[in-house]
Amino acid sequence: MNTKMYAGPGGNRGVFGAWDTVAGRMAWSIKENFPVWSGAAVTAGDVVFYGTMDGYFKAVHARTGEALWQFKVGSGIIDQPVTYKGPDGKQYVAILSGVGGWSGAIVAAGLDPRDPTAALGFANAMSDLPEYTTKGACARHQLTFQMHYINPALVNLGLQARAAGAQFDDDQNRFRLERYFTLDALASRRIARHFELFIAAENLLDKNYEIGRTPVTTVGPPLFVRIGLRLRFGAQ
């Protein structure tokens, strides 16, 4: 079965807002380009901090949603903002940047955006995320290898291998991600003028590997096999 996720009506993929529980309605909302995967921190001075998957750390007014400040960080944000009092007596706000999670797997795991069923279909809704952010922490050694055999009269074959060395998922080097290797494969054959039978496998070796550990452990997709029939139109 091919699973694909899509944006909501009007291209809606993410909203950050406040809810008036007394009136039972939204007090205000801010449309974001991607799902808002971060948490939020609200100060006593009615300032709300949150992060976006395209890498902006933002502050808005808690009662009106008015934009007060924003800062572009190195990678998308899925973490929880925190506020604390420093030794100098001043209040500070901090956030960890580094895209990940299910919705960010297309970047964190280096998935092919041309495959709309990757990450159990979430890649279809997030196919343009790699254009807006990079991985928060990259392994020193990474390798991607692709090989294709195309013979329309017989069969089309594709193989993709991805490898990454060990790395840390945080700026304090506490959360280590071990090295991993994955293999994906695709085979297709035309069975009629407009019909093509295909079989695709992600993580062919069924490796168990982690792609994130902040704020929670996120593992790469397990072995996933898809078999289907494509209907093609146009010149053949």
pLDDT 10s digits, 184-208: 999 999 898 888 899 999 899 999 9
- CATH number, domain of 72, equals 2.40.128
Instruction: Say whether both 77 and 163 belong to one domain.
Output: no
- Count of beta carbons in the 10 Å neighbourhood of residue 60: 23
Is there a single domain that holds both residue 126 and residue 75? yes
Question: What is the span of the domain harbouring residue 10?
Answer: 1-136
Burial 114-141 (b: 16+ CB within 10 A, else e): ebbbbbeebbbbbbebeebbebbbebee
pTM given for the model: 0.59
Whether residue 106 is found in the same domain as residue 7? yes
Same domain, 115 and 167: no
**pLDDT, position 138:** 64
Mean pLDDT of the chain: 88
Averaged pLDDT, 51-59: 94
Q: Is the pLDDT of residue 137 over 70?
A: no
**Predicted confidence (pLDDT) at residue 142 exceeds the cutoff of 70:** yes
Q: What is the tally of structural domains in the chain?
A: 2
Structure tokens, 181: 């290797």
Looking at 101, 119, 136, which one is the last position of a domain? 136
Residue 29 lies in a domain: yes
pLDDT, position 98: 86
* Among the listed residues 166, 192, 188, 171, the one whose alpha carbon sits nearest the alpha carbon of residue 95: 171
Residue 77's pLDDT is what? Answer: 94
**pLDDT above 80 (res 139):** no
Q: Kindly state whether residues 142 and 180 are assigned to the same domain.
A: yes
In a domain, 103, yes or no: yes
Q: Are residues 119 and 165 in the same domain?
A: no
Query: In this predicted model, what pLDDT tens digit does every residue of 153-191 receive, in sequence order?
Result: 889 999 989 898 888 776 566 788 889 999 999 999 989
> Does residue 85 carry a pLDDT above 70?
yes
11 with 128, same domain?
yes
Are 114 and 53 part of one and the same domain?
yes
Same domain, yes or no, for 115 and 201? no
Indicate if 63 and 148 belong to the same structural domain. Answer: no
Alpha carbon of residue 47 to chain centroid: 27
190 and 219 belong to one structural domain? yes
- The pLDDT score that the predictor gives to residue 112 is 85
Helix (H) or strand (E) holding 15: strand 14-20
Measuring CA to CA, how many Å separate 113 from each of 6, 16, 140, 207? 14, 26, 23, 21
Q: Minimal CA–CA distance to 75: which of 130, 5, 152?
A: 130
Higher-pLDDT residue of 220, 45: 45
CA 186 to chain centre: 23
Final residue before a domain boundary, out of 90, 119, 136:
136
